[in-house]
Amino acid sequence: MNEQIASIQTAALELIAAASDERSLDDARVSTLGKKGTLSLAGALIKDIPNEEKAAFGQSLNAARTTLTAALEEKQTQFQQQADQAALTGIDLTLPARSIHTGALHPLTQIRHEAITILRRMGFALADGPEIEDEFHCFDALNTPADHPARNEKDTFYFDSGKLLRTHTSSVQVRTMETAQPPIRIIAPGSAYRRDEIDSTHLSVFNQLEGLFVDTDVTLPDLKGTLEYFFHEMFGNSTEVRFRPHFFPFTEPSFEIDVKLQRKGEAPRWIEVAGCGMVDPAVFESINGTRKDNALDTEKLTGFAFGMGLDRLAMIRWAIKDIRLLIENDTRFLSQFA
């Protein structure tokens, strides 16, 4: 090896060995292999060397560079290991790890997704409407007269403008029929608002899922079959479902649907879960009145509608005794659904 290069290498190795931390090691790298480092400056001398010695000189230069690079790397690894070691001292590896909390969907969201999935399989499409409604879409178009108790200020949240917080999702039936071309097959999940006293089964904001099917041959057996299928999918095939005659202004005939709830250690009870019926032709007529194209021809079309309480479904599914648990966001309750 060229003598000059050999002495540069020796000096550089000493510098590297003497480095006490990453910073001084970096200084050593710069002062030897850096652009203006000792080895690089020596390399520049190659042009003054006689031709026959150039090859040997070049080889010495490369050999020195390889040796120094390896020495630098080795020292660097050594510092890294020391740093890792230092970081670990003082840490008690026997401490139990902090538990990781996984997020989960709220039970109401879960039940809504499930209900939507079942009904979409049957061909229902999602529809939407505003929560701040007017009386026409919430009541008038739904054949609900001005003196009906649901329209009372005691039961409904009115704004000074005369608008109101929708008391049911049935207003989405009207919104949809105003623009859609039959056949219509929609579902509309959403919030509804009533001035109810809050207790274990009532909230002033609750969740419904509305359904509407309008076509040429829609019959009562279609309504019954659809909803029985729905509740069997929801709660299991052995669940008993009962249609109880009732009155709603916008359907004729109308029914309330009860599901038989059997809780362990309790006598079985019927729980009301939905209202439904065959769409009253008066509803079609009032919408024809605004559309002016007789698209909902009462001579040709019939329909069924239903509205179910999603909070109720969740309470039945998980035997939840107090509806308030669904809005209190107590993680002791919610974590059970994760």
| Nearest distance from C-beta of residue 274 to ligand DAH, angstroms | 7
Find the binder of ligand DAH among 151, 184, 210, 235 (CB under 6 A).
210
Q: Where are the alpha helices (DSSP H) in the chain?
A: 3-18, 22-33, 38-44, 51-88, 107-121, 135-138, 171-179, 220-235, 281-291, 310-317, 325-328, 331-334
Stretch of 66-74, 131-139, 181-189, 248-256 contacting ligand DAH, by CB under 6 A: 248-256
251 in contact with ligand DAH (CB under 6 A): yes
Asked if residue 305 lies in contact with residue 210, where contact means CB atoms within 8 angstroms, the answer is: yes
Q: Cβ closer to ligand DAH: 38 or 169? A: 169
Q: How many CB atoms lie within 10 A of CB 144?
A: 20
Per rule CB under 6 A, count of chain residues that contact ligand DAH: 12
Window 265-304: contact mask with ligand DAH (x via CB under 6 A): ----------xxx---------------------------
Find the binder of ligand DAH among 287, 305, 314, 326 (CB under 6 A).
305
37 in contact with ligand DAH (CB under 6 A): no
Any residues with CB less than 8 A from the CB of 16 and at least 6 apart, and which?
25, 28, 32, 68, 71, 72, 75
How far is Cα of residue 305 from the mean position of the Cα atoms in its chain? 28
Asked if residue 127 lies in contact with residue 172, where contact means CB atoms within 8 angstroms, the answer is: yes
Find the binder of ligand DAH among 112, 137, 151, 168 (CB under 6 A).
168
187 in contact with ligand DAH (CB under 6 A): no
Q: Cβ closer to ligand DAH: 76 or 201? A: 201
Cα–Cα distance for residue pair 249/245, rounded to 1 Å: 13
Question: Which two three-digit tokens encode residue 173?
Answer: 């039936």
Q: How does DSSP classify residue 101?
A: P
| Nearest distance from C-beta of residue 219 to ligand DAH, angstroms | 15
Find the binder of ligand DAH among 307, 310, 314, 326 (CB under 6 A).
307
Cross-strand bridge partners of residue 188? 210
| Positions that interact with ligand DAH (CB under 6 A) | 168, 170, 210, 248, 251, 254, 275-277, 305-307
